[in-house]
Amino acid sequence: MFKPRFALCVDGGFIQKVLTKRLGHFPSAADVLAECNRIIAHDAVSGCDLLRIYYYDAPPAQTSLTNPLDGSDLVLQNTDRCRDAMKLHADLASAPNVAMRMGDVVVGGWKVSENTVGKLARGPREIGPNDLKPNIRQKGVDIRIGLDIARLSLRDTVRSLVVVTADSDFVPAFKFARREGIRVYLDTLGVRPRPELIEHSDLRLTAIPTPEEVKREKQRRRRQRAKLAKSEEPRTSAVESEEPV
């Protein structure tokens, strides 16, 4: 007798962001696959056969931009971020039972970084060249996830789906799959999603932090950033000149 099958759908941008914050560096294919293997071993799907891991992402931007504030050039294909992302995609593409679903990337000039926005809220100042970052957006990634969820549900290819994300845009796809009799499991890697994403999934494979836990974590990170900023301030000499008698 054949075991029921399940598929694992991984929101690449989401897992990269969470693992980068957790590990302190851009994740490797081994880091991503370690999370996938943790999910595959979960009791909810341990009695099922894995159909495939679907990994959704967009290629890194490869173009040149000129900073409007100081005229400096940024060659995106020469950045560590681009090289790391290309290696991640290549390694995942060659891994067993992994299918890459790639969207497109659009570069729309420059924007003020989120970190700078937070600083400006605390104390307005003039914006400098380092306060800007490339405005890079992915296109066609979310729709590919939604289409695959619908396709797998309609063809009765699997009996359950595990989706790694915290994006509430997938709620309609979750609702569609459940109406077709598919069990939808959600793994947010410990990130608190919007309530509707929890509501329209059957089981959460990682603990969902409470609002109070999220608040404490934000406060901890705020203190950590303040401590780091203070440690980077130039030290003044402790020696004071004496007034003549």
d(CA 17, CA 209): 17
Mapping DSSP onto H, E and C, the string for the chain reads CCCCEEEEEEEHHHHHHHHHHHHCCCCCHHHHHHHHHHHHCCCCCCCCEEEEEEEEECCCCCCEEECCCCCCEEEHHHCHHHHHHHHHHHHHHCCCCEEEEECEEEEEEEEECHHHHHHHHHCCCCCCHHHEEEEEEEECHHHHHHHHHHHHHHCCCCCEEEEECCCHHHHHHHHHHHHCCCEEEEECCCCCCCHHHHHCCCEECCCCCCHHHHHHHHHHHHHHHHHHHHHCCCCCCCCCCCCCC
d(CA 94, CA 22): 25
Check pLDDT > 50 for residue 238.
Answer: no
d(CA 122, CA 232): 18
How, if at all, do strands 73-75 and 64-66 pair?
Answer: antiparallel
Section 53-57 average pLDDT? 98
* pTM: predicted TM-score of the whole model, two decimal places: 0.83
pLDDT score for 233: 60
Check pLDDT > 70 for residue 245.
Answer: no
Q: 133 and 111 in contact (C-beta within 8 Å)?
A: yes
pLDDT score for 236: 43
pLDDT tens, position by position, 90-105: 999 999 999 999 999 9
Q: What percent of the chain has pLDDT over 70?
A: 93
pLDDT score for 220: 78
pLDDT score for 180: 95
